[in-house]
Structure 1
Amino acid sequence: MVTLTDDGAAGRDPRRWWALGALVASLLVLGFDLTILNVALPTMARDLGASTGEQQWMADAYVVVFAALMLPAGLLGDRFGRRRMLITGLGVFLAGSLVGTLVDDVAWVIVARALMGIGGALVMPLALAVLPSLFGPDERTKAVGAVSAASALGLPLGPIVGGWLLDHFWWGSVFVINVPMAAIGITACLFLLPETRDPSSPKVDTVSTVLTAAGLSILIYAIIEAPHRGWGDPLVLGLLGAALVLVALLVLRERRSVRPMLDLSLLAQRGFLLNTLAATLVMFVLSGLMFVLPQYLQAVLGHDAFGTGVRMLPMMGGLLIASRAAGPVLARFGPRAVISAGLVVLAFAAILGSRTSVDDGYGFTALWLSVAGLGFGFAVVPAMSAAIGALPRDRAGSGSGLLMTVRQVGSATGIALLGSLLASAYTDRLDTSALPRAAADAAGDSVVGAHVVAGRLGDHALAASADAAYIHGMDLVLLVSGVAALVTALLAAALLRNPEPASGTAPEPHTGMAPAPADAGQ
């Protein structure tokens, strides 16, 4: 296998489009798994007796480890070979999926998800990092569009296939399905992807890696525990303080390093910083929405797992439409206007969704989900492409790692903060005054638990109270998400800059999926 260095010549390697296919297969696995778990959470909560906090950890264990290891994963690929680390990551992801199929305890499911996060941390930044080495500026937009489309394609497939599996098999089947997909990704990378590396990249700093992992984990744990203990609880305050200290030590250590693992100088580049922040906010909103929506569709509206997956399609449809329409819209209005407009559309959809009441059926949900999908697509795809295009070629791995780390921190924080907001609002509104203590605790853990208790006791009033309480919490989450998206839209409109057209460069033909010019936002 030929090894390519980051000297620019690799952009014309004859295998580059086949290599892109290998990357698409790899990212398809990650996108597929993300939405499969969300639709499985209500079933797992019922079968495993998982509380809302434990459900948050089943979702967050993956993204916390993902975010913590993203930077060292990018550097490992830079130094030792991106193809080699991609294959290793897919192998670890496959192993974590196998563990998930064999366990029947919440704690072990969380362990399996964390193991999958290790694999995902190796796959995601390196799949992005090889693009500047494989493709020149004239082709990179198409390549980024294909990678973005692969990530988007996994989203609608996950709930549908996952729902069908849950209706016919046990919940562990949502892990089994990852095994053949990861094996296909490994095979594709092995035979189609050329090796690329940057031997001059910084070494992996063990201390910085530990500080990152510990700081993020403690922060997420504090946010998840806060609704149950109270934000003023000494343990919660102590954990938040410890997380702040660890993150501060990380920043100080990296700023003093000659070749830092966390290259904060990249954040000084206006295009990279602002587009990364925009993409991160979108992931914050998306992760929170994907956490609250399946429980609403299953527990409140009463759909089965497969029906829930199908009913999440309007958002995925809107996302795919936006990713295909982004090319001509960007050419006409520029990335600043498109990203800002996408965030405004997202804000409108979330605020519209916050008007959901107990009397509304699925039709209203489908309406605002479709609008939300359009907003997601027009905001995150151009922002990601612009951020990637702003990275120096010789820092592709570590720079992509930083980008994906910030995004995953947004996802983990979204699940933790918005999930905690949901849990607090649900518990405050739920009426359990007539229940024995044990039954009241089970009902207060989650809306799924409340319906299980109501079914056992024949208590229709409890089921109605749980539905109303959950919708109240979901509406609050959507309102907060909408306001956050609107504020980000205003900041993007004020601060982002459109790229200067390069003299003598012909415009790139529209491919139907190109998300943004490669140098957008610089």
Structure 2
Amino acid sequence: MATVTQAEETRRDPRRWWALGALVASMLTLGFDMTILNVALPTMAADLGATTGQQQWMADAYVVVFAALMLPAGLLGDRFGRRRMLIAGLGVFLAGSLLGALASDVGWVIAARAFMGIGGALVTPLALSVLPSLFGDDERTKAVGVISAASALGLPLGPIIGGWLLNHFWWGSVFLVNVPMAAVGIAACVLLLPETRDPASPKVDALSTTLTATGLGALIYAIIEAPERGWGDPLVLAMFAAAAVLITALVLRERREARPMLDMTLLAHRGFLFNTLAATLVMFVLSGLLFVLPQYLQAVLGHDALGTGVRLLPMMGGLLVAARGAQPVVARFGARAVVSAGLVVLAFAALLGSRTTTDSGYGFTALWLSITGIGFGFSVVPAMDGALGALPRDRAGNGSGLLMTLRQVGAAIGIALLGSLLAGIFRDRLDVTGLPTAAADTAGDSVVAAHLVAEKAHAAHLAASANSAYVHGMDVVLLVSGIAALVAALLAAAFLPRTAPAPTPSDAGPDMVPPTADARQ
């Protein structure tokens, strides 16, 4: 009884809203950090001489580590204290941001991003899991909605903040901006958050965690390196083989565990399986798109970093509008119809975008970007809700963890596969006639590098060829994305259950956010 009374006093403590503010700052930081780097990549490529493959690693290092550590991070908080692990996560994120800001070469930037992924994996599930200790049932929904809104707001803020910083400071500022927000979050967690834990939660399985991290890392490495080394290169083939062995070993081990971290039996539920597949494919498309688009806007269309961030807003606007409008539409037509229709809209947007030429201009880009956001919002929100709604209530926690992990994997593979496809096409179509071998190799690294070489060599034909080659590669990426979305739409229409629970307003925010938060954790 004393515990209940203490909990009620905590919930009535006026400091709980200040504590929520600290959590909001943390989630907002993670939210815009997912998109802020995409705008900075062209600038970093020019300053650091990063190839397309290295740019992919800068983006993917965070996502791969985040995906691999999401489940064990949540379990660590349950067993050793959520506040303690949340503070540790923010500290790691702060340290990684400092490392990134001070990095002098590509390798250190990639290491910093991986380190930040550890912090992000700790913060994301635990920021939501501490809410029951702060708020009663009457206030918890509102609190979740506030955190969800912060995560959603981070998406459009990322490119704008990143663009403004790059226009006024050096590229390291996109890392440095995280430091004060993380520091405020740490101080507020120390002063305001109560400590909670669940000693009955499953133990962290170090071997399963290692298998997840190494298996995903090997797969992403093989995909990113294949365009430059060749798909038949012995190292690339060895990495694919290692990934297959490691991921198979993970699945077999988890199936034998009485209380697995990654409960694969959840995939036996048809509604969970196909809604999860739809959400994962959507993340595959969106993450690849956000990787290739900023370089088109900057290198090909010639906009500065801030202009690029602002020009990504049509997609974010369409996403937010559709995510907020999904609830009444699902209530009227059912989740299966809305998910399928959203994926068809996403496919149409990608196929429309694949018609882009070097002379298309931004107006055409804004059109298909807006449609992309609408398709994304109407597909992923009900898909995420339908996936968890298909499970028994007592398995929703495990389902949320598996869903977040698979969504992260989809994002990582999207960046790796679609980025590698773009890199291969760009290198093959780039006209380097008359250039020395070293300059030709450098120009083939990325569209940014090609423009730098063209400027130094006064080779106007090289710049024109780079623009043409990049746009063609982007068109192929969009074509593949459209086909993937269309396949997902057909699967959703054929296999999703006819009825599914409609999402509540508090669910809409995190479910529409690329892998940063999920209210169901």
> What is the TM-score when the length of structure 2 is the normalising length?
0.90
CA deviations 1:209-246 (Å, max 9, x no partner) are 11111111111000011101111222211110111001
Q: CA deviation at 1:128?
A: 4.8
User: Conserved in 1, the CA contact under 8 Å of 2:324 and 2:505?
Assistant: no
CA deviation after TM superposition for structure 1 residue 107, in Å:
0.4
1:198 equivalent to 2:188? Answer: no
| Residue correspondence of structure 1 range 297-312 to structure 2 within 5 A | 297-312=297-312
Distance 1:271 1:515, change over 3 A: farther
The farther-off stretch of 223-232 and 317-326 is: 317-326
Residue 268 in 1 paired to residue 268 in 2? yes
Give matches, 1:211-360, under 5 Å: 211-360=211-360
For the residues of structure 1 that align with 2:132 and 2:393, how far apart are their CA atoms? 6
Q: Distance in 2 between matches of 1:389 and 1:83?
A: 29
User: CA separation of 1:137/1:267 partners in 2, compared to 1, >3 Å: closer, same or farther?
Assistant: farther
Q: Which residue of 1 aligns with 2:153?
A: 153
Paired position in structure 1 for 2:363:
363
CA contact (8 A) 1:126 1:400 kept: no
Does the CA contact (< 8 Å) of 1:144 and 1:385 recur in 2? no
Q: 1:498 to 1:103 in 2, by over 3 A?
A: same
> Distance in 2 between the 1:218 and 1:140 partners?
40
1:222-271: CA deviation from partner (whole Å, max 9, x where unpaired) = 00111011112222111101110011111111111122222112222333
After superposition, residues 346-495 of structure 1 pair within 5 angstroms as 346-389=346-389, 398-495=398-495
Structure 1 residues 284 and 508, CA gap change in structure 2 (3 angstroms) = closer
Give the distance between the partners of 1:416 and 1:96, measured in 2 at CA: 22
How has the CA–CA distance of structure 1 residues 509 and 296 changed in structure 2, closer, same or farther, with 3 Å as cutoff? closer
Counterpart residue number, 1:74: 74
Q: What corresponds to 2:113 in structure 1? A: 113
Measured in 1, the distance between the counterparts of 2:211 and 2:370 equals: 40
CA distance in 2, matches of 1:498, 1:14: 43
Structure 1 window deviating more from structure 2 (58-67 vs 269-278): it is: 269-278
The Cα shift of 1:190 comes to 4.3
* Larger mean Cα displacement after TM superposition, 17-26 or 207-216: 17-26
Q: Which deviates the most, 20-29 or 244-253? A: 20-29
Give the whole-Å Cα distance in 2 for the aligned partners of 1:107 and 1:282. 30
- In angstroms, what is the RMSD of aligned CA positions? 2.9
Unaligned runs of 5+ in 2: 512-521
Measured against aligned partners, the alpha-carbon deviations of 1:33-66 in whole angstroms (never above 9, x if no partner) come to 1111000000000000011111111111111111
Indicate the residue corresponding to 1:42 in structure 2: 42
- What is the aligned partner in structure 2 of residue 504 from structure 1? none
How far did 1:395 drift?
Answer: 5.8
Distance in 1 (CA, whole Å) between partners of 2:155 and 2:54 is 23
In structure 2, how many angstroms separate the alpha carbons of the residues matched to 1:200 and 1:230? 49
CA spacing shift, 1:492–1:384, aligned 2, 3 Å:
same
CA contact (8 A) 1:164 1:306 kept: yes
Deviations 1:487-515 (A, max 9, x none): 111211222225577xxxxx999689678
1:430/1:18 Cα in 2 relative to 1: closer, same or farther (>3 Å)?
Answer: same
- Distance (whole Å) between structure 1 residues aligned to residue 372 and residue 456 of structure 2: 37
CA distance 1:155–1:260, change in 2 (3 Å)? same
Residue identity matched to 2:222: A
Supply the distance in 1 between the matched residues of 2:409 and 2:340 (Cα, whole angstroms).
Answer: 22
Give the secondary structure class of the aligned counterpart of 1:308.
helix
From the superposition, tell whether residues 370 and 137 of structure 1 become closer, same or farther in structure 2 (CA, over 3 Å): farther
Whether 2:83 is the aligned partner of 1:83: answer yes
- Equivalent residue for 2:515? none
Tell me if the contact between 2:152 and 2:510 (Cα under 8 Å) persists in the aligned partners.
no
Segments of 5+ residues of structure 1 without an aligned counterpart are 502-506, 517-522
Name the amino acid aligned to 1:56: Q
Letter in 2 for 1:216: L
For residues 270-293 of structure 1, the C-alpha deviation after alignment (integer angstroms, 9 at most, x for no partner) is 333332222211111111000000
- 1:40–1:163 CA contact under 8 A, matched in 2: yes
Distance in 1, matches of 2:483 and 2:211, equals 32
How big is each residue's C-alpha offset from its partner over 1:111-159, in whole Å with a ceiling of 9 and x where there is no partner?
A: 1000000001112233455578888999887666544433221111111
Greater CA deviation, 487-496 or 381-390? 381-390
Aligned counterparts of 1:128 and 1:421: Cα–Cα separation in 2: 37
1:401-458, Cα deviation, whole Å (9 max, x unpaired): 3222111111110000000000011111111121100110010000000000000011
Paired-residue identity, %: 76
Shift of 1:376: 1.3
CA–CA separation in structure 2 for the residues paired with 1:441 and 1:500: 53
Partner of 1:520: none
Instruction: Give the aligned residue type for 1:48.
Output: L
> Which AA in structure 1 matches 2:104?
D
SS in 1 for 2:97: helix
Q: Is the 8 A contact 1:74 1:126 kept in 2?
A: yes
| Alpha-carbon separation, structure 2, partners of 1:510 and 1:152 | 13
1:319-348 deviations in whole A, cap 9, x for unaligned? Answer: 111122222222222222222221111111
SS state at 2:444 partner: helix
Cα distance in 2 for residues equivalent to 1:446 and 1:472: 14
**CA apart distance, 1:70:** 1.3
Q: What is the distance in 2 between the residues matched to 1:74 and 1:515?
A: 17
Query: SS of 1:487's equivalent?
Result: helix
Query: Contact (CA 8 Å) 1:208, 1:250: kept in 2 or not?
Result: yes
Distance in 1 (alpha carbons) for counterparts of 2:204 and 2:417: 30
State whether residues 311 and 366 of structure 2, in contact with CA within 8 Å, keep that contact through their aligned partners in structure 1.
Answer: yes
- Measured in 1, the distance between the counterparts of 2:133 and 2:172 equals 39
Q: Residue 119 of structure 2: SS of its match in structure 1?
A: helix
Which amino acid is the alignment partner of residue 169 of structure 2? F
Q: Counterpart in 2 of 1:496?
A: 496
Shift of 1:95: 1.0
Greater shift in the superposed pair: 452-461 or 328-337: 328-337
Amino acid at match of 1:241: A
Give the aligned residue type for 2:70.
Answer: M
Which secondary structure does the structure 2 equivalent of 1:197 belong to?
coil
Distance 1:46 1:3, change over 3 A: farther
Give the AA of the match of 2:157.
L
Code of the residue aligned with 2:81 in structure 1: it is: G
C-alpha distance 18-391 of structure 1, shift in aligned 2 (>3 A)? farther
1:305 counterpart letter in structure 2: A
- Contact 2:343 2:486 survives alignment (8 Å): yes
- Contact 1:421-1:477 within 8 A present in 2 as well: yes
Question: Deviations along 1:334-375, whole A, 9 cap, x unmatched?
Answer: 222222221111111111100000111000001100111111
TM-score, with structure 1 as normaliser: 0.89
- The alpha-carbon distance between structure 1 residues 513 and 239, as it changes in their structure 2 partners (threshold 3 A), is closer
Letter in 2 for 1:34: M
**Counterparts of 1:132 and 1:347 in 2: how far apart (Å)?**
39
